[in-house]
């Protein structure tokens, strides 16, 4: 496995690969969810590149950029074990040389709400870094988890609209035994907070039961029920929303005939830790 930091080094290593490349973009602190993305990537192409880069441009000024975990040695051990060909681990200076004039990329129809509203500028940073990673690594396919549902929609829309020459492959969320979605930020949770964090999953299960079993068609009723479960777990709710699965716009009614169902999305805080989760409901 090659570990590359400067972009020229990565480009040379990439050029030496024979056959297609699957990219798994990450910010490191790899867990079983990332391992599933990498394993899936291996089924899609003979070569896998994992990028490990805590991207400063997608963090707001008061967010957790500084304290974001960076266990690079452990991450490299996992990548090696999973048969990754190249790890791209640039520094912020290598990705964003200080003399450069920044580009702004955005998908306005998808970013005005939910994560985009709670984290202004977040998706500009995500689009910019993903576009750079796609240009630098030249993958045929890039694997993204459904856990960051809005991110997956935004990146997919950007790739489609800019005709970037790669495919975005979505991958289901990997969960702990109790249902908590795997996330690098779960490391922030202390022993008292960890059991309460499962409230996000329970709220989504409540939405699932209401929509798929009780055939509830009022999004507001489902949203209020999710908020209620979150509050029961002493979670501070940022949003609990039922949306169109592709356009992410609010719905007047949950139409059981809507192709692709609906998506329920949650962001909630436990102390200083902010967690997100989602579930696509009413499909099949």
Q: How far is the CB of 224 from ligand PAF (least distance, A)?
A: 29
34 among known catalytic residues: yes
For the chain, the maximum distance between any two Cα atoms, rounded to a whole number of angstroms, is 58
Task: Rule CB under 6 A: say whether 58 interacts with ligand PAF.
Answer: yes
Q: Which of 29, 48, 126, 275 binds ligand PAF (CB under 6 A)?
A: 126
Residue for token pair 């009723």? 221
- CB closer to ligand PAF, 185 vs 227: 185
Span from 13-21, 125-133, 189-197, 261-269 in contact with ligand PAF (CB under 6 A): 125-133
Which residues between 26 and 45 bind ligand PAF (CB under 6 A)? Answer: 26-27
CA 269 to CA 267: how far, in whole Å?
7
Q: Compose the 149-168 pattern: x for residues touching ligand PAF by CB under 6 A, - for all others.
A: --x-----------------
Task: Rule CB under 6 A: say whether 173 interacts with ligand PAF.
Answer: no
Q: Are 113 and 70 within 8 A, CB to CB?
A: no
User: Pick from 59, 76, 160: which is nearest to 119 by CA?
Assistant: 59
Q: Which of 115, 148, 238, 277 binds ligand PAF (CB under 6 A)?
A: 148
Set 34, 40, 122, 233: catalytic member? 34
Residue for token pair 């949306």? 243
Q: Tokens representing 199?
A: 């409230």
Span from 22-30, 68-76, 225-233, 269-277 in contact with ligand PAF (CB under 6 A): 22-30
Q: How far is the CB of 255 from ligand PAF (least distance, A)?
A: 31
Distant-in-sequence, close-in-space partners of 67: CB < 8 Å, separation ≥ 6: 188
CA 51 to CA 10: how far, in whole Å?
10
Whole-number Cα distances in Å, 97 to 6, 66, 90, 226? 11, 19, 11, 44
Task: Rule CB under 6 A: say whether 129 interacts with ligand PAF.
Answer: yes
CA 261 to CA 279: how far, in whole Å?
10
Q: How far is the CB of 97 from ligand PAF (least distance, A)?
A: 18
Task: Rule CB under 6 A: say whether 57 interacts with ligand PAF.
Answer: no
CA 179 to CA 4: how far, in whole Å?
35
Task: Rule CB under 6 A: say whether 55 interacts with ligand PAF.
Answer: yes
Task: Rule CB under 6 A: say whether 25 interacts with ligand PAF.
Answer: yes
Partners of 276 in beta bridges = 267
Whole-number Cα distances in Å, 45 to 19, 42, 131, 204? 8, 6, 20, 34
Task: Rule CB under 6 A: say whether 105 interacts with ligand PAF.
Answer: no
Q: How far is the CB of 2 from ligand PAF (least distance, A)?
A: 19
Q: How far is the CB of 265 from ligand PAF (least distance, A)?
A: 15
- CB closer to ligand PAF, 115 vs 223: 115
Distant-in-sequence, close-in-space partners of 84: CB < 8 Å, separation ≥ 6: 1, 38, 48, 49, 50
Enumerate binding residues for ligand PAF (CB under 6 A).
25-27, 55, 58, 126, 129-130, 148, 151
Catalytic residues: 34
């Amino acid at each position: 496995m090659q570990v590359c930091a400067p972009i020229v080094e990565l480009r040379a290593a990439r050029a030496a690969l024979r056959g297609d490349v699957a990219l798994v973009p990450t910010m490191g602190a790899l867990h079983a969810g990332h391992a599933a993305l990498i394993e899936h990537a291996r089924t899609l192409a003979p070569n896998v590149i994992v990028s490990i880069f805590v991207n400063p441009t997608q963090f707001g000024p008061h967010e957790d950029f500084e304290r974001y975990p960076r266990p690079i040695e452990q991450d490299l051990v996992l990548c090696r074990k999973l048969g990754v060909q190249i790890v791209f681990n640039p520094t912020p200076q290598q990705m964003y040389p200080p003399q450069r004039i920044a580009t702004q990329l955005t998908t306005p129809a998808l970013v005005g709400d939910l994560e985009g509203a709670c984290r202004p500028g977040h998706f500009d940073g995500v689009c910019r870094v993903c576009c750079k990673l796609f240009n630098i690594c030249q993958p045929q396919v890039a694997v993204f988890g459904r856990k960051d549902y809005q991110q997956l929609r935004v990146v997919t829309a950007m790739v489609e609209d800019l005709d970037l020459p790669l495919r975005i492959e979505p991958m289901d969320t990997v969960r702990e035994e109790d249902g908590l979605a795997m996330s690098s930020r779960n490391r922030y949770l202390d022993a008292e907070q960890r059991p309460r964090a499962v409230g996000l999953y329970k709220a989504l299960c409540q939405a699932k039961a209401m929509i798929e079993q009780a055939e509830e068609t009022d999004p507001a009723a489902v949203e209020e029920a999710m908020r209620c479960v979150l509050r029961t777990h002493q979670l501070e709710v940022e949003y609990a929303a039922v949306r169109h699965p592709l356009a992410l716009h609010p719905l007047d009614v949950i139409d059981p005939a809507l192709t692709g169902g609906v998506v329920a999305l949650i962001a909630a805080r436990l102390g200083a830790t902010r967690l997100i989760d989602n579930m696509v409901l009413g499909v099949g």
